[in-house]
Structure formats: structure tokens, C-alpha cells
Structure 1
Amino acid sequence: MQWPDVYFTTQLPESGQVILNCTHNPFLVLLAYVVACAAGFATLGITERIGHTEKSTSQRIWRWVGAGCLAGGIWAMHFISMLAFQAPIEIHYQLPITLVSLLFALTASWLAMQTLSHAHLSVWQYLRAAVWIGLGIATMHYVGMAAMRSTATAYYDPMLLALSIVIAIGASLAALLISRHLSEGSGVVNQLLKYTASLVLGAGIVSMHFTGMAALNLVLPEGSLQSLPNDNNHLQLGVTVAVMMLLIIGSSISAAMADKKLQHKEGDLRRVNALLSQLDQARLSLQQVAHYDALTNLINRRGFNQLFAEKLIEKTNEGGMLAVMFLDIDHFKRINDSLGHDAGDLMLKVLAGHIKSSVRSHEDVVARFGGDEFCILIGLHDPEEARHMAQRIMLKMKEPIELAGRSMVMTTSIGISLFPQDGKTCEELLKNADLALYQSKGNGRNGLHFFSQHLKARATLELQVEEELRHALRNDDGLLLFYPPIYDLKTGHVTKLEALIRWQHPVHGLLAPDRFIAIAEANGLIAELDNWVLRQACEDLGELSRQGCEELKIAVNCSPLNLTREDLAIEIEQALRICGVAPQRLELEVTENALMGNLTDTLALLRQIRALGVSLSIDDFGTGYSSLAYLKRLPLNTLKIDRSFIQDIPRATQDMEIVQAIIAMAHTLHLQVVTEGVETFEQYDFLERQGCDFVQGYLLSRPVPLAELRPVLNEINQRKHACPVSPLILARGTFPLASKDLFPKTPAPHAGASVVQPIR
């Protein structure tokens, strides 16, 4: 390999030499430009691919692929451009030097790809890299030109040569900056910019080459023979090289696009996997929320029902017994009302821990159904196991709990149903356990009860009574008012009546109020029932006025639940106005316990009622608080002594003393006294001697409907003073109204309030 003589001069020799004029094949020049543009496009695409590849191995492979495409493209462009060079002398190229030029192109291209692999570089770093890359490309070009062999001597213009190097550096800098900019974008606009940048880069590379060619001048010595060029097919060789290089570049671009799609699919797959993982976590979280109680970490009703169904299937197939235990914390509402809901939540956590520690950890299921209600599902061999566990829980519950600086002791009521004897389905067993719990609370709380068919029969009957009572109220069908007379001991006449409700049941006959009042209170019917009694009593007052009894008053009982309604005074005023009855003829009877429930609000309501002109009476005095401090604050007119203090007179000396004291106290407070339950003349005589104002009871008459009231009033009012009760009335009244006990006594409502008979 022999290097040619190269001269750098701005002026050529003038004597004894021939300067050759050289040309270029336009087609091969265009083909070289296309190859340069293709190489630039591939380089930009592969650089973008490197920026989006996460694996270091893939990045290294793509850097070498990019370096190969760029080096091959530049070298092929140079080679094709040299083939396009046409001179009037024979020119050939030395292969070793040509291959050396390829090494310089590869080195420059590898340096370019290494520079583009860094995420962030300063402008100075880009400029420094562009200088080295440009020098590499220029070296490749001039080494390639040094492979030319001919009889002519090569002279280079230093200015154009330097310009070609500057163009190479500028094209390299442009390529680096454009590639970095394009790697940060995407979309159609980014793709169009890439095409434009490829054309610019191709033009820069080609410009560098032909600027270098313009710096070349071939000079023949004077007198030397000019050898004619060989008839070699440079065009065919150039096309072949171009096609091969374009195929290589196209394959690289296709591989980059395929890898990009594959990476997108991998990315999509990772995102799908991540989404599936998030969905699994969300499902677990939702399952936790859906099946577990957030406060106590026990399972909730939904989770309990699911486990319950699985246990039932297991026990049905394999045999065995289950117990469902319903727990309700006694008087838990007091904790929330007095200490706040935060303290109540803390108490529930402690109680849940007590329950959890009282059961078998792996075999039994403890759930919180909401509020202060818990449910336990246990497998057992004998019903007594359920009793022992319930007793263990009740004992654990009585352990003192330190809360808000206080030592609290809570109790619980428990209802138990058993599988299979008490039911075969979740709903049936839960319902029966709830009925047993209802029985426990009705019997004073802090106890346990097993379900029995009697409870179910009573619950069914109560439901039927509730439905029939709703129908009776809605259609005003079957409800009646009976009136026992209230005798004025001062005037010797009946001056008052008490409105007592009865229900003419289509199947069970005439029902006393204790058979349906508690059901009405427990199911939200008591306000409607009280309002019906009030309106009917006012209508009956109007009828009595038309019969000549304008002075008679009627006392109407008021339910404790009704005293919490602000609309009560308005309803009373409306009923009086519609029926045209004077307010002074209506008396409202309330019980002691009802008055003490919320004394502040009750006082305000009672004063509104008194402002209407309606009288107020405290009923069943002596069976409740009997507090003089409260009694003197109430705007009352009348005090009614409960029959429990009368029934043993004159045999019970203590009862006589209590009644005497109550009468004296009431008169001191300027209250009139009515004594109910008077059934004997001895009782009547005692009350008359003690100065009682009114008496009421079967001694006078049993309660009668409005249609039968006038003859009874006439007979009582026409009595002699010495014998206040005529033989006819006595015959009617000495025996209480007989009625079969069609319904078992209804327990107190679930809330725990005692049953009071406000309407009788």
C-alpha cells in the first residue's frame, strides 16, 4: 500500500503542466444523497429507540447497530460519490486504503452513538463531541480520496479543505442536537421533523464530501501522455453498493420498528399486569370493607351471612348442630349520649375484644351487625354448650372498663337459636335468635333466652295485630271509645268521663287496650291512635252537648311517646275547633314516667296545652317518680291516685295512710284528686271522709259506649245522698268486665321503655 503525493497550495504550477477538468455523474450523486439521507433517518430512529429502551444490553446492541448504519451510510455515500467522479485519465483505487477509510467512518459513528446515549449533556459537551465526529468523517473522506491512483498529481486548496472539515463538524453538531430533540417527542409532527432532519443531515454530509472534492485539482506533468480511462461500469457498481446499503439500512429501521412495537407490547403487558395487581389489591380491599367491620375488625353482617351459609351446608351434609347467639349491649346509648361517640366507639372495641376472647378462636365466628349488636355462630354437640358460652360472655362483660376517667360495667342481653331444631336457613335462625333476644330484653335485660315456638307464635300474632290495627286506623273500622263515669263527691253528680279505647276485633271480639297499645307504640302507630282517640272524644263531647250534657268533661290519656311531639298542641287545638268544643271541657291525662323523660321540653309543651284552656291531669300517681320537686313545677289541675293503693282498703292500714297523705299533699298544691279503681262502698266512704274530690271505678259503673251512657248518668245523678250508688248501678258495676285473655301480655318495646297504658 503506497500513499500518493499530496500537495496543499492555493496556486497551481504554471509551466510544463496540464490541469485536468473533472466532472461527476449526476445520477450517482443523487444516489449518494439518497443513501446519506437514509443513513441519517436510520441514525435518528435508532437513537430514539435507544432512548426508549430500558435494558442496558438492548441499548448497547442498538448503539452498535446505529453506529453501523451511520458508518455504512457515510462510507457508502463517499464510495458512490467517488464512483460518480469522472476524469479524462485512468483512475483506480487501492482497496486497503479504502477499507481503512471505513474504519474511520465506523469510529466516528460509534462516537456519535455514544454521545447520544447520555440523557443530558451541555452544549459544550455536544460541541466537543461534534468536533471529534466531524474530524473522523473528514479523515474518512480524505483517506478514501487518498486511495485514488492515477498519473496526475493531486493538489488541494487549503481553504476549501478547511471548509469541508467545518461542514463535517457542523453537520455532526446538527445531527446530535436534532437527535436529542427528536428523542423527547412523539406523534405525527415528530415523525415529519425526523424526515426533514434526515434530508438536512444528508445534505450536510454530501456537502462536506463535494466541498472536499472541490478542493482537489489533478495536474499532469508537461509532455506526459494522457491515458484514456478504462471502460469500467462505475454506474453499475454504484447502484449495487447503494442498493445493498439501503437494504441494510432498511433492515435496521424495520428491526427498530419491530423492537419498538415489541417493547410497546411488553409495556402494555406490564401495565396490564400492574393493573391486574392493582385490581386484585382493590378487590381484597373491597372485600375487607364489604365483609369486615372497620371499627372492631370483626366480620360484618355480609361476611357473617356468607360464612353462615357455608356452615349450614357443611352441617346439613355431615350432620351436627349450630347455635346462633344474638348479643345486644344493655343501655349502650347512655355511653354515646353522656360521653360522646368517640368514647362509645372505644367501648365497642373493648367489648368486641371481650366477646372474641370468650369464644373458641378457630371454631367460632364473631360478627358485629352494627351499633351495639353482635352475633356469634358456634358449632356444638349439646345445647348446654351454647348456654355455658353465653354465661361466660356475660361474666366477661361485667369486668370494669376504664373509660374517660370512669370505671364502667356493662351487661348484655343474649338470644339463642339452634340448628336444626329452630330453623334450617340463615334467615330463619337469625330471626328466631332475634326473637329470643327480644324476650331477654323484655324480661329485664342482662339475661339469656333460647328460642321457643311460643315466641314465634307471639311474634306472628303481634305482626298480624299490627297489620289489622293499621287497617282499622286507616278505615276507621272497629275502634270504639268506652266511658267510665267520674263522680264528683262535692256536687253528687258525674262531672267527668274518661275516654278508654276498645277494639272490636273481627275474630277475637272486644279487646282491651293492653292487648294492642304496646304493639302500637313499638311500631309507630301510637301517635295516629292517640289522635284518633282525641278526635273521637271531641266529637262525642259535641254529641253530649246536643243531648243536654253541656257541662261534662272528658279526660283523654296521652301516650309518653306523644309527649315528645311538638305538633300535639296543634292537633288538640284543631280537634277542638273542628268539633266546636270548648277547651275547658277537655282534660289531658299523662303519666309520671312520661313527664320525667325530658322535663324541659315536656314543660314547654304542657304550657302550650294549658294556654289553650285544656286541663292537665297526672295519671297513676304513686307508681312512678312521685317527686314533689317536679310536681310543683308542672302546670297541673288534677292528680289521679292509682288503683293499686285502693284495692286493699280498708284492710291495708298502710295504703290508707298513703292515700290520706297523697290527698293532703295534692290539696296543699291546689290540685284536685281523682281516685280510680273504687269497687266497694267501704272504699267510697273512706275517700269521702278524707276529702277526695272525685272517684271512679266499678262501684259506679263499668265503662260503657256513648250510646249507653245517658241512662247510666241519669241513674247515678238521681241517687240519694245517703246511698250514693243505687242497687241497679251496684248490680251493674260490682263485677269487673269479664274478658278472656286472648293475647299473652306484650313485653316492653325493644328500646327498653316500660309499658304504660296511656289510652284505656
Structure 2
Amino acid sequence: MSGHYDYGLVVVSYFVAVLAGYSALYFGAQLTHALSRRTLWLGLGALTMGTGVWTMHFVGMQAHKMEISLSYDLWLTLLSWLAAVIASGLALQRIGLPRISPLQIGASTVFMASGIVIMHYLGMEAVRLTPGLQYHWPWVAVSVVIALAASAGAMILCRQLADAEGDHANVFHSAAALVMGAAISGMHYTGMFAVTYPVGSAPHPDNLLTGDWMGIPLAVTISALLVLAMVVIILDRRNARIAAEQAEAHRERLEQMAFEDTETGLPNRSALDQYLLDCIVRAGREKRTFALLYLNISNYRDQAPAKSSRECNQWLPGVAHALKQLAAENTAGWWLARYSDSAFALVIEEPHSNAQQPLFRRIQELVTNALSIGEHLQWEAGHSLFPDSGSSSRSLIRGAMVIRNPGQIGDFSRPPRFADINGDTSPENVSELPLTERV
């Protein structure tokens, strides 16, 4: 018995297969990394994949127009759906393991292909014609091979999708669904080509499902369910994106708290250590030098108790801002951090260049009170030079903490004097002792 195809329904059957593939690929990919709700993802994947393939089959059957109106046995039809769902679940369960081997990919492929083949030919038997359908076995074998190839592609794509991210994942997901839809449809129509309807065949009178309900109405109903599944996918992706953004913001905040001084907003001592290490590596590689200035409020202990908590909150950020403005007015190659309650550290690039000399003069004016930063604050300063003063962050910081006379700030030709640390503590020499050595 010959027939022809309604190409509108052929397109609808392909659309259903694509929707099923899109949903099943996503739910299956979630299994790979899911620590919870694995049963939910597995159930949704098996249901959408199995139901989608099953629906595609019966819409494709209805697309084949013949002289007789097809009808179907209810229980065989339901059994074909159950076979597709169970096989899809077994396949996705294997492919969704955290670690899989080629053998497991092969097993999941066989599960999926078996489900498609059993579903298809059970669905064909559900037609129940008298006399019955006749099969051209070479084409049946070809349809089985196509089912295996389609299933292998689906499993591999599902696994790759689990590791894809961002816009690339969306494009890959859509392309994979289109390929899956074509593979599933190709298997179905090859299987249809393997079947011959004997001349004079008639549907069994006990068939309860008529073809009128297995075409467009079924496609619309199942497509609505698949679209609902896609809405779940969109919402899940949105929630995952929001959760990832919140986690990233929290991580950045923790990192900021670890490397930022909460009172002034400047980088803190930990950030200074890290920055100096980076400068040392970069300067060593590029054969360059840099200076570290240590700026200390010598009367901090006298001034801080005299301020209220509210005044300190305004005073310290103001001091930090003024120091930043002082550096910015004179040079572009600088980096400022708060080293301790009373001290700040200023890293200066290319300290020997003429462009940096105005900054050193301003620091000298700050120490001699010719320039004021902070009300009633007295400043003192020291400096160190990489690599002359040391090649580690610790040695550079310790060298910079040697307080110098104002005129020596920025003069890198004079090394600091340590000879008087164990003996002479006259004022002119005390000014060149490390702050930690002061009494």
C-alpha cells in the first residue's frame, strides 16, 4: 500500500525532536556536576527525551498519509512510551556520572539506541493492521545503525555540554539540539521506509487511539510540556548566573577586605607586601629600579586620643586623600598604602628621574612643616631603593623605616648610618635610627 508525506507534519515532527533534544541535553548535562537534585535532573531528562522521541514518532506516523486512517492499540502505545523514557533514563544516568570511561559512553549509547529502536517498532506494532505489517530487514538494520550513531552523538554532545560555559555553551547547546533532532528524525523515517503496508490492510477494531489524536493535537500538547521544561531551564540558568555573580562579588569583597585598610580605603600592609613582590620581579626582569618611601606621623599617639571616634573617621581618610593628591600632583609612577596606624608607604617608580624630584621636595617640605597635611600632625620619613637597599620586601621596608633628615629624603647616594645604634644617641643620629629602635 503506497502513501505520501504531509511535509508540514514532517517539519512539526522535527521541531518536536529538537525541543526534546534541547531539554534532554540540558538536564543530562546538569547530572555531571550536580551535588544535589540528581534524581530531579535525571527524571526530567528521561521524561523529556523519552516523551519527545515518542511524540516525534507518532507525529511522523501521522505525516505519512495513506488510503486508510491509522489507529493504535492503547497498551502497546503506552508501552512504547515507557520503553523510551526508561531507556533515556538509563542512558543519562550513565553519561551523567562525574567520571566516565569509553566503556560507559558505549553503554549509555546502547541504552539510548535500544530505547529508540524498541519505542519505534513497538509503536509500529501498535498500529495492529490485518494483515500485519511487513518489514524489509536490511532497512531495519540501517535504522538500528542510525539509532546507534544518533545516540552516540547525543551522549558525546551531552558530556561536552556539561563543560561548556557562557555564550559558547548556548550556541553549542542549540547546535547540538538541531543535530539530535535531525538524527532522531532520520532514524524514524528510515524505519518507516523499512515497513510495507500490505494491500487491503485494515486497522484492528479494538484499537482505541485514532490517528486524529496522534498528530497535531499530540504535538501541540507535548510541545507545550517541552516548552515548560525549557522555561525551567531558563529559570535555572538565571538562578545559576545570579548565584555565580553573588559568589564572585562575595569573593571580591573578601579579597578586598584582606588587602584594604577599612579606615582609609588604601591598600593595607598585606597588599604592600604583595605589591613589592610584584615590583621586585618586574624590576629584576626589566633591569629597573624603584624606591619605597616610609611616611610616619611622629605624634600620632598624642593626636589620636584627642580626637573623637567621629573625628578620626574624618581625619584619617582626609590624610590619606591628601597624600594621594600630593603624589598625583608631582608624578604618575606611584602607589600608596597604609602600613600601620601612624605610617604610610609610597612606592615610586624611576626615582632617579627628574620627573620625580618635585615629589621628594614636597616630602621634604612635609617633614619640615613647610607643607601641612593633617591638623597639628608632625611627619618624618625614610626611604629605601631596590636593589641597593635590599632585594626582598622585608629588607626594603626595614631600610625605608630608617628615619632620615629632611634634606636626605630622595638622596639615594647616601646610605643610612647604623653605626650609632649601639652607642651615640645624639639628636642628629637618632633621626637616622629605624623607628623600631627608638626609645
Per-residue deviation, 1:288: 5.7
1:263 is aligned, of 223, 233, 240, to 240
Aligned 1:372-411 pairs, distance under 5 A:
none
* Matched residue, 1:111: 90
- Indicate the SS of the match to 1:96: helix
* Matched residue, 2:259: 282
Higher relative contact order (CA 8 A, sep 6+): 2
What is the CA deviation profile of residues 377-396 of structure 1, one whole-angstrom value per residue up to 9, with x for unaligned ones?
xxxxxxxxxxxxxxxxxxxx
CA distance in 2, matches of 1:274, 1:117: 29
CA distance in 2, matches of 1:226, 1:132: 32
Structure 1 residues 368 and 167, CA gap change in structure 2 (3 angstroms): closer
Aligned 1:1-400 pairs, distance under 5 A:
20-51=1-32, 55-89=34-68, 91-186=70-165, 188=167, 190-219=169-198, 234=211, 237-283=214-260, 302=297, 305=300, 307-312=301-306
Per-residue deviation, 1:369: 9.0
Aligned 1:321-720 pairs, distance under 5 A:
427=376
Is contact 2:133-2:198 (8 Å) kept?
A: yes
CA distance in 2, matches of 1:73, 1:28: 15
Structure 1 residues 750 and 304, CA gap change in structure 2 (3 angstroms): closer
What is the CA deviation profile of residues 27-53 of structure 1, one whole-angstrom value per residue up to 9, with x for unaligned ones?
2222111111221122233344445x5
Structure 1 residues 100 and 233, CA gap change in structure 2 (3 angstroms): closer
1:750 aligns with 2:427: yes
Per-residue deviation, 1:212: 1.9
Higher strand share: 1
Per-residue deviation, 1:192: 3.8
* 2:428 aligned partner, one-letter code: A
Per-residue deviation, 1:177: 1.4
Structure 1 residues 198 and 236, CA gap change in structure 2 (3 angstroms): same
What is the CA deviation profile of residues 315-354 of structure 1, one whole-angstrom value per residue up to 9, with x for unaligned ones?
xxxxxxxxxxxxxxxxxxxxxxxxxxxxxxxxxxxxxxxx
* 1:200 aligned partner, one-letter code: V
* Matched residue, 1:405: none
Structure 1 residues 187 and 227, CA gap change in structure 2 (3 angstroms): closer
Structure 1 residues 269 and 216, CA gap change in structure 2 (3 angstroms): same
Is contact 2:259-2:269 (8 Å) kept?
A: no
CA distance in 2, matches of 1:149, 1:242: 22
- Count of residue pairs the alignment pairs up: 299
Structure 1 residues 749 and 107, CA gap change in structure 2 (3 angstroms): closer
CA distance in 1, matches of 2:31, 2:270: 45
* 2:196 aligned partner, one-letter code: N
CA distance in 1, matches of 2:157, 2:203: 48
Per-residue deviation, 1:269: 0.8
Q: TM-score, normalised by structure 2?
A: 0.58
Is contact 1:84-1:234 (8 Å) kept?
A: no
* Matched residue, 1:613: none
CA distance in 1, matches of 2:198, 2:426: 125
CA distance in 2, matches of 1:426, 1:43: 69
CA distance in 1, matches of 2:38, 2:154: 19
Is contact 1:93-1:149 (8 Å) kept?
A: yes
Structure 1 residues 278 and 143, CA gap change in structure 2 (3 angstroms): same
CA distance in 2, matches of 1:173, 1:265: 33
CA distance in 2, matches of 1:289, 1:220: 88
Quick check: 95-104 or 21-30, which moved more?
Answer: 21-30
Q: CA RMSD in A?
A: 4.1
- Indicate the SS of the match to 1:143: helix
Higher helix share: 2
Is contact 1:164-1:211 (8 Å) kept?
A: yes
What is the CA deviation profile of residues 208-252 of structure 1, one whole-angstrom value per residue up to 9, with x for unaligned ones?
12222222223368xx99999x9x984675112112222222222
Per-residue deviation, 1:311: 2.7
CA distance in 1, matches of 2:35, 2:343: 57
How many percent of aligned residue pairs carry the same amino acid? 26
Structure 1 residues 194 and 268, CA gap change in structure 2 (3 angstroms): closer
Is contact 1:49-1:256 (8 Å) kept?
A: no
Is contact 1:156-1:215 (8 Å) kept?
A: yes
CA distance in 1, matches of 2:47, 2:202: 43
Is contact 2:4-2:66 (8 Å) kept?
A: yes
Per-residue deviation, 1:99: 0.8
What is the CA deviation profile of residues 274-302 of structure 1, one whole-angstrom value per residue up to 9, with x for unaligned ones?
21112112235955679xxxxxxxxx955
CA distance in 1, matches of 2:55, 2:135: 23
* 1:41 aligned partner, one-letter code: Y
- Indicate the SS of the match to 1:256: helix
Per-residue deviation, 1:178: 2.1
Q: TM-score, normalised by structure 1?
A: 0.35
* Matched residue, 1:714: none
* 2:253 aligned partner, one-letter code: L
- Indicate the SS of the match to 1:242: helix
Is contact 1:89-1:150 (8 Å) kept?
A: no
CA distance in 1, matches of 2:19, 2:189: 18
CA distance in 2, matches of 1:752, 1:48: 72
